[in-house]
Amino acid sequence: MKNQILIALLLTVGLMSACSEINPHPMDMTQAVLNAESKADHEALAQHYEEAAKEMQLKVDEHKKLLSQYESKSYRYGRQAENLKAHCLMLIGVYKKAVEENLSMANLHRQM
């Protein structure tokens, strides 16, 4: 019974985090990019993109830990273990892509 409650709780938290919007740019980036004229403006944008990349990297690390847990103790999760592992792998890929894109944008703004 405890295992079923734990699994239900983990699935609920996982679904909530998966369904939450991934918004690495809380400000209106289109307007900020269009208004950037000086070196300082581009530097600020580069720093913003780097901060977003750091946040996404933390999510990559968090999901890698979860994946490790699901792989090493799959017996605890029963049939759901494979689904949980696949979900973590998918999220790791999404967040890694976000890290790469944000770092790419930071480099572009540093060159401007």
* Tens-digit pLDDT profile for residues 16-51: 555 555 555 555 666 666 667 777 888 888 899 999
Q: Is residue 55 one of the residues assigned to a domain?
A: yes
Find the domain containing 65 and state its range: 37-112
Q: Is residue 28 one of the residues assigned to a domain?
A: no
Q: Is the pLDDT of residue 10 over 70?
A: no
Q: Is residue 66 one of the residues assigned to a domain?
A: yes
Q: Is residue 25 one of the residues assigned to a domain?
A: no
Domains in the chain, number: 1
**How much is the pTM?**
0.68
| 85: nearest Cα among 67, 101, 111, 99 | 67
Q: Is residue 48 one of the residues assigned to a domain?
A: yes
Q: Is residue 9 one of the residues assigned to a domain?
A: no
Q: Is residue 27 one of the residues assigned to a domain?
A: no
Q: Is residue 100 one of the residues assigned to a domain?
A: yes
Residue-level pLDDT at 44: 86
Region 1-17 average pLDDT? 58
Q: What pLDDT, in 10s, does the model give residues 58-96? A: 999 999 999 999 999 999 999 899 999 999 999 999 999
- The span from the CA of 59 to the CA of 112, in Å, is 29
